[in-house]
Amino acid sequence: MYLSLAGFRVVKARDGFEALALAREERPDLVLMDLGLPGIDGCEATRRLKQDRATRDVPVVALTAQAPPTGNLLEAAGFEAVITKPCLPDELAEQAHRFVRRRVAGTHPLA
């Protein structure tokens, strides 16, 4: 809700399979991916997004209340960053704006 109030058009998925379908259909500028999605988890959904020619360039940020997996698991799945919940709404919106600005400008999200 807060991201909508901050000016973003938000599309929500109920599970990992719906997230894949919506990302392919909507071609978003950013995906905030929960790690604990039903169906397929956020890591697997992100791997699939990054393997799909239509969605591989979309930045995917893990948004999770879980302790992030250790090692390079998130990076190997294709996540550009991790935002841990709870997070302040203003910080979430600023992070989202940062990724979207870089995507629109054509620069790498971590630049």
103 band by pLDDT with thresholds 50, 70 and 90? confident
| Separation CA 89–CA 36 (nearest Å) | 20
Q: Compute CA distances 61 → 33, 43, 98, whole Å.
A: 6, 11, 12
Q: Is the pLDDT of residue 67 over 70?
A: no
Mean pLDDT, residues 61-76? 76
**Nearest one of 78, 72, 106, 95 to 20, comparing CA atoms:** 78
**Nearest one of 84, 88, 94 to 8, comparing CA atoms:** 94
At the fourth CATH level, which superfamily is domain 2-105?
Answer: Response regulator (3.40.50.2300)
